[in-house]
Structure formats: C-alpha cells, structure tokens
Chains A and B, each alone.
Chain A
Amino acid sequence: MLAFIGRSVIQKIVTLFFVSVVSFAIIHIAPGEPSQVDPLNPKFTPEMVERFRQAFHLDRPLYVQYAFFYRDLLTGNTVSWKDNQPVLHKIGERFFNSLPLFIVGTLITWTVSFPVGIRSAIFRGGAYDRSATLLSYVLISIPGFFFAYMLIIFVVGQFQVPVIGMQTFGMTDTPWFFRLNDRLWHMLLPSMLGATGGIAVLSRYVRSQMLEVENQDYVRTARAKGLPWEMVHYKHALRNALLPFVTMFGLILPGLIGGSVIIESIFSWPGLGRMAYEAILARDYPVILTINFIAAVLVLIGTFVSDILYVIVDPRIRL
C-alpha cells in the first residue's frame, strides 16, 4: 500500500510537470495579446506596446517566461495583469463563492439521481422507467443557457422576485435570518440548473449499472433463496452497482472550476468559472495558468483519492 502511494505520488508529479509545460505552451502559442497591449488603439505607440511586453516578460524566450511564471506561482507571488491583484487571493475569494453552489448542486445531483436511476432499473420497461428516460433525454438535449433563460423569465415573470446575483441587491439592513434565506433563494435556481444536467446523465449511469448487476447470478440466487425484495435490490444488487461510482466521485472535484462558466455568467455569480472565462478573453495569462494548474492538481488528487477509495471499498483489489 505504501509503495503504491509513493509510486503514484511520483507519477502524478511527473504528469503535473508535463501538464504545466503543455498548458503554458498552448496559451502562448494561441494568437492574441493581453488586453493591456492594444495595437489598434491610436494612443498606443509601438514603444509603449514594447514597454508593456517587457513588463510582462513577453519579450523573453518562452522557457524563461515559464521559469518566471512557475517561480512566482510556487512562491505565491503571481499577480494578475488585469488589475495587479495577487492571483491566489483572487482565486481564494472566488472559490468560496463557487463552493456553496458546487456543494448544493452536487448534493442534489447525487441524492436525486440514485433513487431515480435505481427505481428505473428495478421497474425497467414500465411507465416510470420510460417517462424518466424521456425526461433525461429532454434535459440532456436542452442547452443549459436556454433552459436558464426560460427559468429566469418564468420565475421573474411569475413571482416578481430577484434571482440574479448572490443576494438581493441593496438588502443590507435586514435581520440575518432574512439575509440567509435570501442567499439560499439565490442559490436555488443556479444550483438546480447545474444539477438538472447532472441528474439526467448520472441517473442513466445508475440505471445501467443496476441493470447489469441485477442480471448477475448472485442476485438471482438471492432472489431464489427467498430473501425479501428490499434485501435483494438494496443490499445485494445496489452495493455492487455502486463500485464504479467511487471513481466518478473522485473526478467531480475539478468540476468545481470548469463546471459552471455559463451558469455563473448568466446569473452574474462571481465564481471561479466566470473568472477563468474572463481571464481567457483578456489573455490574463497568470490567472489562466494558475487556474489551469490548480485544476490539474485537483484532477490528480481526485484520481488518487478514488484509487485509494476503490481499494477500501472493493475487497477484491489488493495492492
């Protein structure tokens, strides 16, 4: 076990290095300049463009820029080009805005998809299964932004309540209880929207996993020996069907960053995904690369955790 952990940590560090090189190269090869350098602005003389490029080290060879960037990142000194704010501080702030949305969304996704998927599998072919299937395909097919607009127009039109942002604008002198609920309300739509797509996909997975297990010999045996219905489905079948989801659980971590660009933009939610998107538009390399690096670290940690979890959950696997 220890040997496995050691090996896997080394492997992941090597992978991380390659990720850092490739992402750095891709961003610099992509055309475009930081938005501070605007060659079509008559007020920008070529000397000034050159001065900006020097200040951002853009005139140095790529490997020097790479060294500069990762030196700053590892010492925690990276600064955004857009507003000169420390990148880690910016990311930290946004992280705590995205986190509740992510937690609520994930909770809803996982807690809803399992019952729905399991029920579909148990009563496969029935009216419930078929309507659930239809609904999931509808939800998968509707583009997220369109669905979001429809929901906003519906809610604002019907109930005349604000839904945009993290809280109602200008609600500052109200008791904490109102404010808390106000925040919850603003979380409702975006997290539900984030969850619907997830539910549609995940419940399909659950259903097919369940179906596969339900056809196994040991389930038939369990049924044959006259075990109660719940026991057969929830103990013998479900436990085994759950195994592959352990892997998935590790992989939802990086969703924290990239999962919600569109929803965050539509709802003016000041989260991580939106910051990353705006940084890409402004070619704010330090922010893009830092987020990218953190995402890579999260993916690697996620896979690592799911490897370990797998060992714990599945007694057949020995390292």
Chain B
Amino acid sequence: MVPVGLSLILLQSYFWVPSYEEQSRGNAGRLEEFINASIGDASILNPILSADSASSEIENLIFEGLIDRDENLRFRGRVAESWTVSEEAYFFINTAQPAPGSGDGDVEALVAYLQTLRNQPASLPENLQGAFGNIREISLVPARTDTVRRQQPAAAGREAVDLTIRVTAPPRVKLTLRDVDPNLFAHLAEVLGPDYFSSFQPRRYVSVPAPIAQTELDLLAKDLLPAVEHNPVIEFRLRPDVKFHDGREVTAKDVKFTYDAIMDPKNLSPRVADYEPVKDIQIIDPHTVRIVYKRLHSPAVGTWAMGLLPEHLLNEDRLRQEALRTGRDPAAFSMRQSEFNRRPVGSGPFVFREWKSDQYITLDRFAEYWEGAPNYKRYIYRILPDLLTQEMEFYAGTIDAYGVQPYQVARLQQDPRFQNFSGTSYAYAYIGYNLRRPPFDDPRVRRALAMAIDVDRIIDFILYRQGERTTGPFLKQTEYYNHAIAPVSCDPEGALKLLAEAGWRRNADGRLEKGGQKLQFTLITNSGNDTRKSILAIAQDAWKQIGIDVRTDLVEWSVFIKERINKLDFDAVVLGWSMGIDPDLYQIWHSSQTGPHQLNFAGYRNPEADDLIIRIRQEYDLDRKVALCHRLHAIIAGDLPYTFLYVGKWTAVLDRRIVIRETDPGGKDRFRPIQPTRTGNYMFYFNQWTKLADAPQFHQ
C-alpha cells in the first residue's frame, strides 16, 4: 500500500510540470533571459581574489575595468575614456665621467647642453633626432640625503640583518618623454660618452654603519641608486557617467582602492605579481588617475582590464563594521571573508541578483550602464556538472548555448535548429623535451623527432579534426603569431637522415645506436586526459617506426607536477599551455627560469631569445613589438625545444532565434545575424543579443 501510494503521489506530479514548449510559449519572459551552463560553480565573486574560470566569467559581466580588448584584441577604453602612455626617465650625474658641455661636473651646464640638443635636433645625427624629438622636458632633481631601512635576508652562516643606510644621492637629470623609449639611454650615451652610464659608481654615495660584505654592499647600492631609470607613466581619463550598481559614481579613488586591495597582503590576492611593477598611483582629480611604473614592463597595460571594486563598500570602515556585526575579530577580518564576495556590486552591464550554490547565479541587466543597457533582461548561469545533462538541457531549450564536444561537431553543425560558431582556443599542446639530457641537447635530434610525428593524423583521429597546427608559443588570433613559419612536415626518411648526421645509425635490429648506446627515452604525461594518452601512443609508435626505443608512462597529475616536472625528472612530456593575449614569454622561455619549480622546465636557453623576450616586455609600441615577436617565434620554431602539436578548436551551438538587435538613430529596431569577430569571439556583441519568438530569415 505504502509504495503504491508514494509512487502515485510522485507520478501524478508529472501532470503539473510544464513541458518545454509550454515554457517558451506561455512564458514571454523566457525570450528575455539568456541561460548559460557551466560544469563548475563560481567560488568567489571578487575579481581581485578569484582564480577560477567560472568566477571570472560572472565577474566579467558584473565588474568592469578601465580597459578591455576590442574585436581585434587591441585595447579599448571601458571605464576609461582615453589614456596616454608616456615616460619619465632619470639618470644620475656621473661626476667621474667628463661629459660634453658640463666641464667637470657642472650639472646645470649638462642640462643646458641637453636642452640645446633637444631644441636643435637638426644638428644631431639622424638616428638621434627621433630620440631627442621625443623628449618633452629636461629638468634637474637636486642632490638629496636620505636614510633608508632595509632588511638584508639571512644567508649562509648568518641571520637576517636590519640595516640603516645613509644615502647621499647626487643630482639627477629627469627627462619627460612623449612616448616610452626603451633605447633612450643607448641614444644618450652616443652624446654623453659610451661609458657615461655604465661607469656610475653608486657605492660612493651609500654608507652603512654595520659591517657587510663588499659585494653585498655593491648590490645594495646598485639597487638603491640605479644609474638610469625608466618610469613609464599611464594616465587614464575616466568617463564621467559611469556608475556602480548602487548609483555611486566610479572615480579615480576606486581605481586606487582596487590596486591597494590587490597589494594588501591580508587579502592574499593571486594577482599581486601583475601589479608588482607599479611604483606609485596618484589621483590627479576624480576622473584622472596616473600610474607610474618602476621599470619598463609593457604587459602591465593589460592588467587594467581588472574589474574595479567600489571603495565605498569595501573600505576599512565598512569591513570593520561587517566584522563587528558578524561577531568576528576585526583585526583578522579581510576582504576575503566579506559577504561582498557572495553578492558583489560592480559597474558592469549586469547587476548581481542571486546565487544558489551549485544551482545557479542570476544577474539582471544594469539599466544605467554607460554604453546602454543590454537587450537581455536577465542572465542566468546554471551549474550542470554533467556534460550529457547539459546537452539534453540545450536540446530542450532550458539552456541557450552549448559547448560541443569534438566528436559531436560534425553532427551538430548540420542541425538546422542551431547556429554554430567555432574558433581556436587560447591553448596549445606540445611534446616538451628535457634539453639538459642527451640526446635532446642536439637540435638535429629534436627536429628529427618532430619530423617523425604526423601531427595531422593526431588532429584527424584524436581530435576529430577539431584542431589546427601551431608552430610557436603565441596566440594564433593575435598579430604576434608569425604566420610565415611553416609547420614541420612529417618526413620519417628525412628524420633518419638528420639522426644519421647527429651520429645515430640503425643497427642490425633496426634500432638507432650511437657508439653502442641505444637511442631510448621515456615519454610521460598525466593520467586522466584521454587526448594526451592517445598522443602518447601515436608518438611512441611513430618513433618506434624509425628505430627509437620509447617507453611511456602515465602519472597522476599532482605526482606528475611535484615529482617529475618540478624536480625536472623527465625525458619528454606531453603537455599543454594556455596562453594570454599578451606576448610575454618570460616565465616559460627565459633562461633564468630553468630551475626546479620554475616554468621553463624544458631548460630552453638561447641568448638571442632571452634578449628578445626582455625587449618584448619593454616595448610599448605595437608595431615594433609585433616585429620582435615574429623574430622570437622564428627562433623558437627553429630550435624546436618543444614539438608544437596543435591548438584545439572549440565549437558552440546557439539557438537560431538568437540575433543581434540594434536601434538605429531613428529609433527603429534592426536585426542582424550574430557574426563572430575576426578573432572568433562570437559573444563579443553579447549586450546586443536578443531572442526572437521565431527563427528569422535574413536576406542578403
């Protein structure tokens, strides 16, 4: 009796549940909602604290930064209306070095000399005219005396020491530049003498009461009084009409507050490293903020896409009040504990409404958004941890977009009910070699290994063609990627020839040998990734074909990282990197990053590449930067420290009824189909999207 009754109660409920058709037909509001799905829930909705993709997806809708990227992945203003990048450069007067115009150490004369050169560029050789024309102002910073406290870290055989250092700095020349000029001092040296800067002796101006080693003192002095200094300056002009969701205006104060919050050690922000180069941030007026950097570091511009936090909701007073209200210790209470992270307030196009953990997050459009409110009234982020469930929900119309799995692409692209978009992802797969170990230290061997593998087969059979070949570490959608470089083509015969050049010849069994030593190594990857596992098998097979004895191993992810990668204990690995838009390769490719626990675990060292990596970091001019990147790409593609495999392709399907709605100046609505940007981003015009009741027909 009980089971029958219970089942009846449960089953009868069926008659009360709306079917999908009824949902969209009787429910006009559904057309004004966009429902997205995600496998994982957000963790913390605060742009300076979160480090997971689900959180940042939501944060991008709620918060807004000073700038972001446009259709072509170049910067465009958001909260900032405009911005300028200029530079302040300094050098110390080097009294030891006679300089033209200054006699022996007459500082004012030197400044006057430089000023004349600037005013009469025609008198200069051609290569210096640009550099001097770029100087807006030359002034003198008088000598000063300072006391600095530093802690000298503990070293072998001694404890950390607190030092009180007396610095009597000589006068300094300050040059205000229109544009950032990384080569400024090289050019000035042509006028002032080749050793003018390098022979500056900071040691002479620094005195320490406590005895410390001479070399340490030299380093300290160099750090305190660098002969030359580049201080790039970014000045953002904020739009006057941008508001937070609670109606307060976004001002320069909020920009400074966001920066201070990131740098506050209490908050444990994972973005500290991005902002470390900032020297000073000044509020010029409520709508102008000026950021001065310690050194040339062009990736820093992009960090201002960081969502701005509302100072008036998170300042010290507010946090203290919250701590007292919730009965916690105000001293230990930080932004990390604040309720703000569960109901954030930003200035982006959508306003936070509700978050049910592991179920959904809903956002409403922000009616007062400066660029005009989005067409959708509501954005809903559903958490559906199972892919098949997501697919079923998409077919049924309760989610609006679905990220297609590679094996489904062929089928779903044909489906007339949906529109589909695809593009390449911001990540590449590679086989990396441990260049510290033979035979990988020989570039010919590396090229031969790359030639033996048929990457197209990997793309065809493992990725169901949902991939594209890549030849280097830059993002394919950006200008930095050098399309002139052809991928290594599959040529096992050629590979054998190259190996023979390197001394590896086939023995009687067909195995490659050199001086009685067999060519053998182990290729590893992490377990739990089927694609990598299949690549492992294909590579092993391809290399066995030409006589290399390859073993393979799958290692659990955390062990893989901890014991193999971090300790540099591997021959070759199959792995992937995800890429940012900025072309900074320092951590993964610079030779200073080859130690244990560092990211250049392949151990790639090339002085020319090192130099280019640094210059790319210091270059603020897009065209010059692109040229440097193309050169670097060519060098890496030539050295082949990795066998670059592919970048994955993603495909997303959307309901056909979703279109772009624009209002023309006459106030009439015009519709057009959704078109991805040149870089493949189909969500770029999301704020103009709308869903129609019936699928539209567009005529050319």
Q: Does A235 contact B (CB under 8 A)?
A: no
What are the interface flags for B13-27 relative to A under an 8 Å C-beta threshold, 1 for contact and 0 otherwise? 111111111010001
What are the interface flags for A37-57 relative to B under an 8 Å C-beta threshold, 1 for contact and 0 otherwise? 011111111101001100100
Whole-angstrom distance between the Cβ of A305 and the nearest chain B Cβ:
22
Chain B residues numbered 572-606 whose CB sits less than 8 Å from any CB in chain A:
587-588, 597, 599
Chain B residues numbered 385-402 whose CB sits less than 8 Å from any CB in chain A:
385-386, 388-389, 392-393, 395-396, 398
Instruction: Kindly name the residue among B44, B270, B341, B558 whose own CB sees the greatest number of chain A CB atoms within 10 A.
Output: B270
Q: Could you tell me if B388 and A149 are in contact, using CB atoms closer than 8 angstroms? A: yes
Q: Could you tell me if B396 and A156 are in contact, using CB atoms closer than 8 angstroms? A: yes
Q: Could you tell me if B13 and A168 are in contact, using CB atoms closer than 8 angstroms? A: no
Partner of A161, one of B20, B271, B384, B599: B20
Q: Could you tell me if B19 and A39 are in contact, using CB atoms closer than 8 angstroms? A: no
Q: Does B356 contact A (CB under 8 A)?
A: yes
Q: Does B484 contact A (CB under 8 A)?
A: no
Alpha-carbon separation in the docked complex, A266 to B341 (Å): 28
Whole-angstrom distance between the Cβ of A168 and the nearest chain B Cβ:
6
Whole-angstrom distance between the Cβ of B29 and the nearest chain A Cβ:
8
Q: Could you tell me if A162 and B17 are in contact, using CB atoms closer than 8 angstroms? A: yes
Give every chain B residue within 8 A of A178 (Cβ-Cβ).
Answer: 16
Give every chain B residue within 8 A of A75 (Cβ-Cβ).
Answer: none
Give every chain A residue within 8 A of B557 (Cβ-Cβ).
Answer: 32
Whole-angstrom distance between the Cβ of A183 and the nearest chain B Cβ:
8
Alpha-carbon separation in the docked complex, A168 to B393 (Å): 11
Alpha-carbon separation in the docked complex, A107 to B6 (Å): 9
Chain B minimum-CB-distance residue to A33: B558
Q: Could you tell me if B398 and A162 are in contact, using CB atoms closer than 8 angstroms? A: yes
Q: Does B33 contact A (CB under 8 A)?
A: yes
Chain A minimum-CB-distance residue to B584: A42
Whole-angstrom distance between the Cβ of A230 and the nearest chain B Cβ:
16
Q: Could you tell me if A51 and B357 are in contact, using CB atoms closer than 8 angstroms? A: no
Q: Could you tell me if B13 and A170 are in contact, using CB atoms closer than 8 angstroms? A: no
Q: Could you tell me if A82 and B43 are in contact, using CB atoms closer than 8 angstroms? A: yes
Q: Could you tell me if B51 and A84 are in contact, using CB atoms closer than 8 angstroms? A: no
Q: Knowing A83-B43, A182-B13, A265-B385 touch, does A274 contact B2 (C-beta < 8 A)?
A: no
- Which one, B222-230, B559-567, B687-695, is touching chain A? B559-567
Q: Could you tell me if A45 and B558 are in contact, using CB atoms closer than 8 angstroms? A: no
Give every chain A residue within 8 A of B15 (Cβ-Cβ).
Answer: 181
Q: Knowing A84-B341, A107-B2, A170-B23 touch, does A31 contact B270 (C-beta < 8 A)?
A: no
Give every chain A residue within 8 A of B388 (Cβ-Cβ).
Answer: 149, 152, 266
Give every chain B residue within 8 A of A177 (Cβ-Cβ).
Answer: 16
Q: Does A140 contact B (CB under 8 A)?
A: no
Partner of B357, one of A84, A107, A270: A270
Q: Does B336 contact A (CB under 8 A)?
A: yes
Chain B minimum-CB-distance residue to A114: B3
Q: Knowing A41-B51, A104-B6, A111-B6 touch, does A270 contact B19 (C-beta < 8 A)?
A: no
Alpha-carbon separation in the docked complex, A129 to B27 (Å): 50
Q: Could you tell me if B384 and A268 are in contact, using CB atoms closer than 8 angstroms? A: yes
Q: Knowing A156-B396, A160-B20 touch, does A84 contact B336 (C-beta < 8 A)?
A: yes
Q: Could you tell me if B16 and A152 are in contact, using CB atoms closer than 8 angstroms? A: no
Q: Could you tell me if A181 and B13 are in contact, using CB atoms closer than 8 angstroms? A: yes
What are the interface flags for B535-572 relative to A under an 8 Å C-beta threshold, 1 for contact and 0 otherwise? 00000000000000000000011110110011000000
Partner of B270, one of A40, A48, A104, A185: A48
Q: Could you tell me if A83 and B392 are in contact, using CB atoms closer than 8 angstroms? A: no
Q: Could you tell me if A168 and B386 are in contact, using CB atoms closer than 8 angstroms? A: no
Whole-angstrom distance between the Cβ of B558 and the nearest chain A Cβ:
4
Q: Does A202 contact B (CB under 8 A)?
A: no
Q: Does B274 contact A (CB under 8 A)?
A: yes
Q: Could you tell me if A184 and B9 are in contact, using CB atoms closer than 8 angstroms? A: yes
Q: Could you tell me if B270 and A44 are in contact, using CB atoms closer than 8 angstroms? A: yes
Partner of A111, one of B2, B268, B398, B559: B2
Q: Could you tell me if A40 and B599 are in contact, using CB atoms closer than 8 angstroms? A: yes
Alpha-carbon separation in the docked complex, A107 to B10 (Å): 13
Whole-angstrom distance between the Cβ of A143 and the nearest chain B Cβ:
14
Q: Could you tell me if A165 and B359 are in contact, using CB atoms closer than 8 angstroms? A: yes
Instruction: Kindly name the residue among B51, B356, B385 whose own CB sees the greatest number of chain A CB atoms within 10 A.
Output: B385
Q: Knowing A33-B558, A111-B3, A166-B359 touch, does A185 contact B389 (C-beta < 8 A)?
A: no
Q: Could you tell me if B44 and A164 are in contact, using CB atoms closer than 8 angstroms? A: no
Give every chain B residue within 8 A of A267 (Cβ-Cβ).
Answer: 389
Q: Does B157 contact A (CB under 8 A)?
A: no
Partner of B10, one of A35, A162, A184, A266: A184
Q: Does A298 contact B (CB under 8 A)?
A: no
Q: Does B640 contact A (CB under 8 A)?
A: no
Q: Could you tell me if B17 and A51 are in contact, using CB atoms closer than 8 angstroms? A: no
Q: Does B239 contact A (CB under 8 A)?
A: no
Q: Could you tell me if A164 and B393 are in contact, using CB atoms closer than 8 angstroms? A: yes
Q: Could you tell me if A161 and B19 are in contact, using CB atoms closer than 8 angstroms? A: yes
What are the interface flags for A174-197 relative to B under an 8 Å C-beta threshold, 1 for contact and 0 otherwise? 000110011011011001100000
Chain A minimum-CB-distance residue to B265: A51
Q: Does A108 contact B (CB under 8 A)?
A: yes
Chain A minimum-CB-distance residue to B378: A170
Q: Could you tell me if A161 and B385 are in contact, using CB atoms closer than 8 angstroms? A: no
What are the interface flags for A84-113 relative to B under an 8 Å C-beta threshold, 1 for contact and 0 otherwise? 110000100100000000001001100110
Give every chain A residue within 8 A of B43 (Cβ-Cβ).
Answer: 82-83
Q: Could you tell me if A184 and B274 are in contact, using CB atoms closer than 8 angstroms? A: no
Q: Could you tell me if A168 and B337 are in contact, using CB atoms closer than 8 angstroms? A: no
Q: Knowing A161-B14, A170-B27, A185-B13 touch, does A90 contact B357 (C-beta < 8 A)?
A: yes
Q: Could you tell me if B35 and A108 are in contact, using CB atoms closer than 8 angstroms? A: no
Q: Does B30 contact A (CB under 8 A)?
A: yes
Whole-angstrom distance between the Cβ of B518 and the nearest chain A Cβ:
32
Whole-angstrom distance between the Cβ of B487 and the nearest chain A Cβ:
25
Q: Could you tell me if A39 and B566 are in contact, using CB atoms closer than 8 angstroms? A: yes
Q: Does A275 contact B (CB under 8 A)?
A: yes
Q: Could you tell me if A171 and B18 are in contact, using CB atoms closer than 8 angstroms? A: yes
Q: Does A159 contact B (CB under 8 A)?
A: yes
Instruction: Kindly name the residue among A35, A39, A274 whose own CB sees the greatest number of chain B CB atoms within 10 A.
Output: A39
Q: Could you tell me if B556 and A83 are in contact, using CB atoms closer than 8 angstroms? A: no
Alpha-carbon separation in the docked complex, A115 to B3 (Å): 10
Chain A minimum-CB-distance residue to B597: A46
Q: Could you tell me if B10 and A169 are in contact, using CB atoms closer than 8 angstroms? A: no
Q: Does B447 contact A (CB under 8 A)?
A: no
Q: Does A153 contact B (CB under 8 A)?
A: yes
Give every chain A residue within 8 A of B559 (Cβ-Cβ).
Answer: 31
Give every chain A residue within 8 A of B587 (Cβ-Cβ).
Answer: 42
Q: Could you tell me if B14 and A185 are in contact, using CB atoms closer than 8 angstroms? A: yes
Give every chain B residue within 8 A of A160 (Cβ-Cβ).
Answer: 19-21, 396
What are the interface flags for A101-143 relative to B under an 8 Å C-beta threshold, 1 for contact and 0 otherwise? 0001001100110010000000000000000000000000000
Whole-angstrom distance between the Cβ of B40 and the nearest chain A Cβ:
8
Q: Knowing A185-B10, A270-B357, A275-B358 touch, does A170 contact B558 (C-beta < 8 A)?
A: no
Give every chain A residue within 8 A of B385 (Cβ-Cβ).
Answer: 265, 268, 274, 278
Give every chain A residue within 8 A of B213 (Cβ-Cβ).
Answer: none
Whole-angstrom distance between the Cβ of A85 and the nearest chain B Cβ:
8
Alpha-carbon separation in the docked complex, A35 to B270 (Å): 12
Chain B minimum-CB-distance residue to A175: B16
Please give me the 3 A-B residue pairs with the lowest Cβ-Cβ distance, nearest first. A32-B558, A181-B16, A184-B13
- List the interface of chain B (C-beta within 8 A of A): 2-3, 6-7, 9-21, 23, 27, 29-30, 33, 35, 40-41, 43-44, 51-52, 265, 268, 270-274, 336-337, 341-342, 356-360, 380, 382-386, 388-389, 392-393, 395-396, 398, 556-559, 561-562, 565-566, 587-588, 597, 599
5 contacts between A and B (CB under 8 A): A160-B21, A170-B27, A182-B13, A185-B14, A274-B385
Question: Can you add 4 more A-B contacts, CB < 8 Å, to A165-B359, A185-B10, A185-B16?
Answer: A36-B270, A43-B271, A161-B14, A164-B384
- List the interface of chain A (C-beta within 8 A of B): 31-33, 35-36, 38-46, 48, 51-52, 55, 79, 82-85, 90, 93, 104, 107-108, 111-112, 115, 149, 152-153, 156, 159-162, 164-166, 168-171, 177-178, 181-182, 184-185, 187-188, 191-192, 265-268, 270, 274-275, 278
